[in-house]
Chain A
Amino acid sequence: MKQHTLSVLVENNAGVLSQVSRLFSRKGYNIESLAVGVTDDPSVSRMTILMVGDDLMVRQVASQLSKLRPVISVQRLDPGKSVRRELLLIKVKAETREKRDEIIQIVNIFRANIIDVSRSALTVELTGDAEKTGAILALLKEFGILELARTGMVALERGPITIYDDNKEKGEFNYGKDVL
């Protein structure tokens, strides 16, 4: 069992998200993270789904997803061959100048930004992969995290390969949609 990333192109319609998430709950798979956003084509959204499972399970999910009418393409992303990023907004308790200075130092080391300051709290913006976000959260925890919002991981395959490229596996996943 390891973590897998699926990138899914879907029609940008109401109801698609519930169809996709229902599939996971019906099959008993857990979504660790789900990020959705519109692509360069406004009629198409891209979902990035992180799930834990074995290879067979992930293929099963990918093929089940491919059967859904609004799903355009499904790509399994190999962690070694893809770039993954997540955006975090972290509101940290900072009631004294010393604390604020300390937090600012940490933020600088992680190349994060402070995007809001008040007398008793700072809001930090950080982009990174799981390792980096995990590390800063562990450090900031000591100061007291008041609130945390994260976008969920997004990912793209390295190199020129895209989700639009066809391969044999995708052809098989989509075969049932060939209606003629």
Chain B
Amino acid sequence: MLMKSTQVLFECLLEQGVDTVFGYPGGTILNVYDQLDGGRYGKKIRHILTAHEQGASHAADGYARATGKVGVCFATSGPGATNLTTGIATAYMDSSPVVFLTVNVTEELIGRDAFQEVDITGVTMPITKCNYLVRDASQLADVIREAFAIAAGGRPGPVLIDILKNVTSQTVDYTPLPKEEHVKSGRLAELAARRPSSGLKRRKPDEQDISILADMIADAKKPLILAGGGIIRSKAAEAFTEFAERIDAPVAVTLMGEGAIPDRHPLCTGMIGMHGTYVSNMATTECDLLIAVGARFSDRVTGSLKHFAEQAKVAQIDIDRSEVDKNVVTDHHIIGDAAQVLEALLDKLPQYDHKEWLGRMESQKDAPPKRESDALDPREIFACVYEQLGDDVIIATDVGQHQMWSAQYYPYSRPGQLITSGGFGTMGFGLGAAIGAKIGNPDTVVIHTTGDGCLRMNGNEFATEAYYHAPVITILFNNGALGMVRQWQTLIYEKRYVATNLDRGPDFVKYAEAFGIPGFRVTNREEFAAALKKAVGGNQGALIECIIDSDEMVRPMVAGGAPIDQFLLR
């Protein structure tokens, strides 16, 4: 049937089951927004207007991570589009499926440095799985269908569609097509035809590769498993926990892998790497077999590559072949979806018993470091949150010390519970992501942990939180400094605190209240517990400002590039 191309756009979003879009309008994208004025699309699709395009990009990302669905984000041309880039790169580094949709200037103005023109497909080339410039309305449906399939498929990630403005005023024929049929038409069908052996279906993992790993496991006396974010994306947590129990091996977790196995599971030794636990890092050095599942050996995990797992054979399970032998040279790899590979392995593996090895690891578990300060203890804050809210909570973080504390101190029990910018380390990610997570999970309490540096960056999204009633509880760790950078200055730069002192306002309680969000300032555990109770009960979001000592540090710590068993701080 003939319809406006902007109608086709929304029909295609409805085909994908999209009901929420985050975005920010502008001149070129107005034809698209015009379709949201009541009517069919206005009723079926909720548009969340953020304070800034960057906030929208993080919200769509947080929504995707918290729901497992593909996030959708709109922006206009030029600065609207470039404001998305930090969010796109964040999603790319953490394999989060988001479709970004921008509208560029009209065909006759392209390349003439028109007002608000930017080559956004060129700009985003290295930070998207793929991107499209739609010059013809007849391609639009096909491109959108492929974009969603690519964003969610394989190793997920962001995709950008840039549409020329004149295309958004064209009329074009649209044939409805249910999602299951997409692969049989247009570009996806062409893609499938090129892959005759798989037809775009994920192939089963190679049986011989599975057997080889099963043999390596049988030979190992001191196996260690490294759980990465791939387990979360593949929804493989259950199979993974069973796999770990079957091998009876300790499990070290990466930041993105939090939730792959419950933190309180006896096999879990906690985070690995720069701020990893003593036992996880030591186990890496001592193990004779390291099995990485959906982990990409980031430099924050490995430290010195030369010394990483020096005594071990390394086996890697990953969906993306380019992650194999990229940082750590492996002895064996299995390419496949984590859930499929783990199921296939479970069919082959007998029950193992590594009591001695596990006992040795257990004995190395560190007691919490002694407190030198009377100030509010970050560990206690998380203990208090857990006491009141338990497992039914999602924590979205910003980046820095509070991010590491969020990862270290909260006992996560399921995938998707911790939403954090792991790869890109995007300060200002948290509030937008928390709002997205809350909108995707209206019945779950969403906590946003942040620092005074991060909140200053994108705190403007309090406006979005209040207006759309997406109550998020922001726990602000205010130490009057850029804490993590200051920590490096303390330890590595002989306390030369250049440009990290943030003792200059604003009054964050007043700031939150200016947006209609109740604020609390707390200095001890009792005050915090009371404020949290009020915040949860109030169900209108809140800011709880926790006054933290500026010398508070993230422990343990290994210096960047050092072997991960050589701790700068315990």
Collect the chain A residues with CB atoms within 8 Å of residue B149's CB.
179-180
C-alpha spacing A4/B502, complex, angstroms: 53
In the bound complex, do residue A60 and residue B325 qualify as a contact, i.e. CB atoms below 8 Å apart?
yes
Partner of B201, one of A15, A174, A178: A178
Most A CB contacts (10 A, CB to CB) among B150, B202, B326, B335 go to B335
C-alpha spacing A64/B195, complex, angstroms: 18
Chain A interface extent, by class? 20 to 34
Partner of A178, one of B122, B126, B154, B326: B154
Collect the chain B residues with CB atoms within 8 Å of residue A66's CB.
321-322
C-alpha spacing A63/B325, complex, angstroms: 11
C-alpha spacing A91/B319, complex, angstroms: 51
C-alpha spacing A73/B195, complex, angstroms: 10
Partner of A175, one of B126, B154, B191: B154
C-alpha spacing A165/B155, complex, angstroms: 24
Partner of A180, one of B121, B153, B319, B324: B153
**Known contacts A22-B126, A69-B150: does B202 contact A175 (CB below 8 Å)?**
yes
**Known contacts A67-B320, A172-B321: does B152 contact A179 (CB below 8 Å)?**
yes
**B373 at the binding interface (Cβ < 8 Å):** no
Collect the chain B residues with CB atoms within 8 Å of residue A67's CB.
129, 320, 322
Would you list which residues of chain A between 39 and 78 have a CB under 8 Å from chain B?
56, 59-60, 63-64, 66-69, 72-73
**A24 at the binding interface (Cβ < 8 Å):** no
Partner of B126, one of A26, A72, A179: A26
Partner of A179, one of B150, B324, B335: B150
C-alpha spacing A132/B472, complex, angstroms: 71
User: How far does the Cβ of A114 sit from chain B's closest Cβ, in whole Å?
Assistant: 43
Chain A contact residues, majority secondary structure? helix
In the bound complex, do residue B335 and residue A172 qualify as a contact, i.e. CB atoms below 8 Å apart?
yes
**Known contacts A69-B129, A72-B194, A171-B197: does B329 contact A176 (CB below 8 Å)?**
no
Collect the chain B residues with CB atoms within 8 Å of residue A2's CB.
none
Collect the chain B residues with CB atoms within 8 Å of residue A179's CB.
149-150, 152-154, 188, 191, 200
**How many contacting A-B pairs (Cβ < 8 A)?**
83
In the bound complex, do residue A180 and residue B195 qualify as a contact, i.e. CB atoms below 8 Å apart?
no
Would you list which residues of chain B between 148 and 192 have a CB under 8 Å from chain A?
149-150, 152-155, 183, 188, 191
**A110 at the binding interface (Cβ < 8 Å):** no
Chain B contact residues, majority secondary structure? loop
C-alpha spacing A18/B124, complex, angstroms: 13
Which B residue's beta carbon lies closest to that of A11? B190
Chain B interface extent, by class? 35 or more
C-alpha spacing A179/B198, complex, angstroms: 10
Collect the chain B residues with CB atoms within 8 Å of residue A81's CB.
none
Collect the chain A residues with CB atoms within 8 Å of residue B55's CB.
none
- How does the 8 Å CB contact mask read for B252-271 relative to A, with 1 for contact and 0 for none? 00000000000000000000
**Known contacts A60-B325, A66-B321, A172-B321: does B206 contact A178 (CB below 8 Å)?**
no
In the bound complex, do residue A63 and residue B322 qualify as a contact, i.e. CB atoms below 8 Å apart?
yes
Collect the chain A residues with CB atoms within 8 Å of residue B324's CB.
63
**A177 at the binding interface (Cβ < 8 Å):** yes
Collect the chain B residues with CB atoms within 8 Å of residue A171's CB.
197-198, 203, 335
Collect the chain A residues with CB atoms within 8 Å of residue B126's CB.
22, 26
User: How far does the Cβ of B306 sit from chain A's closest Cβ, in whole Å?
Assistant: 15
Collect the chain B residues with CB atoms within 8 Å of residue A172's CB.
321, 335
Collect the chain A residues with CB atoms within 8 Å of residue B200's CB.
177-180
Which A residue's beta carbon lies closest to that of B150? A179
Most B CB contacts (10 A, CB to CB) among A22, A56, A171, A178 go to A178
Which A residue's beta carbon lies closest to that of B323? A63
**Known contacts A69-B130, A69-B150, A172-B321: does B195 contact A177 (CB below 8 Å)?**
yes
In the bound complex, do residue A60 and residue B203 qualify as a contact, i.e. CB atoms below 8 Å apart?
no
Partner of A177, one of B152, B154, B336: B154
**A168 at the binding interface (Cβ < 8 Å):** yes
**A166 at the binding interface (Cβ < 8 Å):** yes
In the bound complex, do residue B321 and residue A175 qualify as a contact, i.e. CB atoms below 8 Å apart?
yes
Which B residue's beta carbon lies closest to that of A173? B321
Collect the chain A residues with CB atoms within 8 Å of residue B320's CB.
63, 67, 175-176
**B109 at the binding interface (Cβ < 8 Å):** no
Collect the chain A residues with CB atoms within 8 Å of residue B152's CB.
179
Most B CB contacts (10 A, CB to CB) among A15, A26, A73, A180 go to A180
In the bound complex, do residue A175 and residue B183 qualify as a contact, i.e. CB atoms below 8 Å apart?
no
A contact set with B: CB distance below 8 Å: 15, 18-19, 22, 26, 56, 59-60, 63-64, 66-69, 72-73, 166, 168, 171-180
Known: A63-B321, A63-B324, A176-B322. 16 other contacts (CB 8 A): A56-B325, A59-B325, A60-B322, A60-B326, A63-B322, A67-B322, A166-B197, A168-B206, A173-B321, A176-B155, A176-B320, A178-B198, A178-B203, A179-B149, A179-B152, A180-B199
Q: List 18 contacting pairs A-B, 8 Å CB cutoff, sorted by A.
A: A18-B125, A22-B126, A63-B320, A63-B322, A63-B324, A72-B194, A166-B197, A174-B198, A175-B319, A175-B321, A176-B155, A178-B198, A178-B202, A179-B150, A179-B154, A180-B199, A180-B200, A180-B202
